[in-house]
Structures are given as C-alpha cells and as structure tokens.
Structure 1
Amino acid sequence: MDLIVREAEIWQAEEIYEVLLRCSDETDFLACGSSERKETMPIEKFREFIASGTATNNKFFVCLDGERVVGMLGMHEEARERFKHRVSLGMNILKGHWGQGGGKLLLEAAIDHFNSMADLTKLELEVRRDNEGAIALYRKLGFEIEGELKNHFLVDSNYYSAYRMAIIKK
C-alpha cells in the first residue's frame, strides 16, 4: 500500500468529515467522540476551516490510500496577536491504518509548511501521556516535551495526563 499526503480540497470536505467522525469513535486518545464533535464542529464550520487555508496559516492535509481518505492533520493558526507566531496541530488516522507511515507523512507535510512560514516560530500539540506510539513519532520528528498537563482528559471516569510538545525554530 502506498500512502500519499496532499493538502485537502474543499470538494473533499464531506468525506474527510466522515473519516474524522469515525476516528473520533475508534479511540479515546482524541479530544472528543463523534457526537460531541458534530456539536462543536458541524460540517459547515469544518468546510470553512478547510477553505480558510488560502488566507491564513491554517492548513489541512489528508492522507490517502489510493483515492480513499484514511487520515488527516489540521494546523490551526492562533488569532490573537500575541500568539500569532504559534500554530497548533491535531492529527487523526483510521485505526486500521495505524503504524503504516501515514502519521509520519502527515507530520512531515505539517513541519514543511511550518518551516516555510517565516512568521511562525512554534509548532505545538497536545498528546495523551499514555499514547506511547504517537509520542515516539513526535520525538523522532523533532518535537520536545514542554510540560505535563495533569488530569487533562476525563474518559469513562478515568483521568489521563497529557504532554504539551513543540518544535521551536531557533
């Protein structure tokens, strides 16, 4: 299987959104499940986010297996002036495609975009502390742990801590 990554296009919004919802229910490593995601990010708002990449540092990349979307990575620019140097990211891969290199390809695309933007100096993310595979990948690609967020996630009455990780341009 040859996975490829490219920037998302607005015509793919519905397919990407459906994969996002599936990813949200396949693991509890993500911020929320599909029902909550539908409330906080309805398809119209999701479509706007993908379209905003032409005028901002927001970017949305998809990982494709053939023509089928199997993962995604969104980069979100901070709107507040004092934080405009920062961009945060979130990534989702369908569970059946974990460990096949899609996450690495998505992160490399994000890091390339980050490095191409002179006004961006910090690329950041949060990851659950027990998501060892993701943490290993982030470290391999240059992310460093900045700190621990204790009891950051509450899933089925269990608390989980998270790491804030970042790449900072020197």
Structure 2
Amino acid sequence: MDLYIRPIQLEDAKEINNLRRMEGIMENIMGLPSETVMDSKGYIAKEDSLRHQFVAVLKKDRSNEVIVGTAGLHLNELPRKRHSATIGIMVHTEYQGMGIGKQLMNAVLDVADNWLMLTRIELEVFADNEKAINLYQKLGFNVEGVKKKAAIRNGRYADEMLMSRIREQD
C-alpha cells in the first residue's frame, strides 16, 4: 500500500465531505447527513495557527489517488489552556484496521510533541467504539471519564468517553 500523509488542501473538500457522510463514519463523528461540500470547503478554508489538519492519501497508481482518512489537532484558544489540544480523526471504512489511523495519529502527535510542546491532548470517542479506544490506548491515551447521553447517534442518545494523553515535559 503506497500511502502518505500530508496537510489538508482546499481541493480535498469533496473527498473529505464524502468521508464525513460515509456510513460507518458519520455515526461516530459529530457530522450530519445534510453536510455539503461547501461546509467542508468552509472548514478547510478557515485553517489557522490553532488547527493542524492532515489527510492520508492512498496512491492507487500513477494518476489515481484517494483520500482515505484525516486527522486534526485543534489547540485550545484560551491563553491559560494553550498547553492542550483536542484530536479528531476518521478513516474510510474500507481501509480501517490497516494502520492508517495510527499513521494519522502519529502525524498529529508529532506536531503536538515536537513542534508545539503540548502537555495535554484529549479526545472524545463513543463508548462502544472499541477499535478506536484500543488505538488511542496503544498511543498512550487513558480514559478520564464517561459522559452519559453526550450525543445523538442514529436516533438515540449515546455515551462518550473522554480520553487524554498527558506528556511530562523534560
């Protein structure tokens, strides 16, 4: 598999929108079925120094590439919380379990650790998303708590876990 990670580009909006609305992904993120490509373009266009977004690109052949995942690191805008950030990630359902999520997480954690010197990285994950939870734990994230009925998913309230990775500074 010829895969590489790169920063997101405005031209990625259509593929990102397709990922966000994909069955198997949409239920596990805070997206809605009504999201448009323009919504994705607007999000990408608003990139600033507080957001670091990457895409995983699979090169199928010389002229055919497809985005199979994305991950973002979002710094807290409050000055007294600038040592912390949140992570969001999604991987195309046909490519899950192939290490793409780990590569994306490593890309954002590299920025967090080696370029921004962040101490606290946190994320929220649906409490029944065992594959994602296992990946996060392998990368040093720990469960801090469960938020009961935190989000709506498929017409029901669902619990979310708050996980974090605390990095001790040298």
How far did 1:118 drift? Answer: 4.5
- Following TM superposition, the consecutive aligned residue runs of length 4 or more in structure 1 with deviations greater than 6 angstroms are none
Partner of 1:46: 43
1:145 is matched with which residue? 143
2:20 maps to amino acid: L
1:160 aligns with 2:158: yes
SS at match of 2:164: strand
Which ranges of structure 2 fall in alignment gaps of 5 or more residues? 60-64
Task: Pick closer, same or farther for the CA change 1:49–1:26 going to 2, 3 Å.
Answer: farther
Whether the aligned pair in 2 keeps the contact of 1:121 and 1:169 (CA below 8 Å) is yes
Q: TM-score if structure 1 supplies the norm length?
A: 0.84
- Whether 1:29 and 2:50 are equivalent positions in the alignment is no
Question: Which of the two has greater helix per residue?
Answer: 1
Counterpart code for 2:76: E
Structural mapping, 1:1-150, within 5 Å: 1-10=1-10, 12-23=11-22, 25-27=23-25, 28-35=27-34, 37-38=35-36, 42-50=39-47, 52=48, 56-66=49-59, 67-150=65-148
Listed one character per residue, the Cα deviations across residues 47-105 of structure 1 (whole Å, up to 9, x for unaligned) are 2234x2xxx24111101111211110011111122222111111111111111111010
Note the aligned Cα RMSD (angstroms).
Answer: 2.1
> Would you say how many aligned residue pairs link Structure 1 and Structure 2?
162
CA distance in 2: counterparts of 1:145 and 1:165, whole angstroms: 4
1:13–1:46 contact (8 Å) kept in structure 2 = no
What is the rounded CA distance, in whole Å, between the counterparts of 1:127 and 1:152 in structure 2? 10
Q: Structure 1: give runs of 5+ residues left out of the alignment.
A: none
Cα offset, 1:165, TM superposition: 0.8
Percent identical pairs in the alignment equals 30
Q: TM-score, normalised by structure 2?
A: 0.84
